[in-house]
Amino acid sequence: MTASSNPIERSFEIAAERCEDLTPLVYRRLHGEHPETITMFRTEGSELVKGSMLALTIDAILDFAGPRTGHFRMIECEISSHDAYGTPRNLFIAFFGVIAGTLRELLGTDWSPEIDLAWRQMLGEIEMMVSQCTT
């Protein structure tokens, strides 16, 4: 497999070589940094919802950072459904940073300045998109 030249994709590729499933790591970090999120998910069946929410978010990130074929638009759609779930916008935005922090920890010294810059720029763009959304 050739390594991706897109730094965001590459960060996910390296993480995938080291960890089969990011789900427990991401939610442990989310719940640690934002304990109020623990009770936000339903008590039954939340494992499925959490796994699917993360998988769809990663699809959207890879599309946003890459071809922009359309999956990234899911982010805008989910803003309004999460407004309805009662998820504050700042937490919604924080989820992307939690994913970045999880990858950064897994990558260790492989988290290069290039990867860091690409993530910082993308997190800034996502934050702007979410905070400007009026739906």
Do the Cβ atoms of 104 and 112 come closer than 8 Å? no
Distance of closest approach, residue 91 Cβ to ligand HEM, in angstroms: 4
Judged by CB, which is closer to ligand HEM: 19, or 91? 91
Distance of closest approach, residue 84 Cβ to ligand HEM, in angstroms: 9
Cα(82)–Cα(89) distance, rounded to whole angstroms?
A: 8
Judged by CB, which is closer to ligand HEM: 68, or 85? 85
Judged by CB, which is closer to ligand HEM: 10, or 82? 82
Judged by CB, which is closer to ligand HEM: 101, or 110? 101
Distance of closest approach, residue 2 Cβ to ligand HEM, in angstroms: 28
Cα(87)–Cα(18) distance, rounded to whole angstroms?
A: 31
- Written as six digits, the tokens of 1 are 């497999």
Do the Cβ atoms of 129 and 75 come closer than 8 Å? yes
Which residues contribute to the site for ligand HEM (CB under 6 A)? 30, 37, 40-42, 49, 52-53, 56-57, 60, 74-75, 78, 82, 85, 87, 91-92, 94-95
Do the Cβ atoms of 77 and 104 come closer than 8 Å? no
Distance of closest approach, residue 6 Cβ to ligand HEM, in angstroms: 19
What angle do the packed helices 73-85 and 89-107 form, to 10 degrees?
120
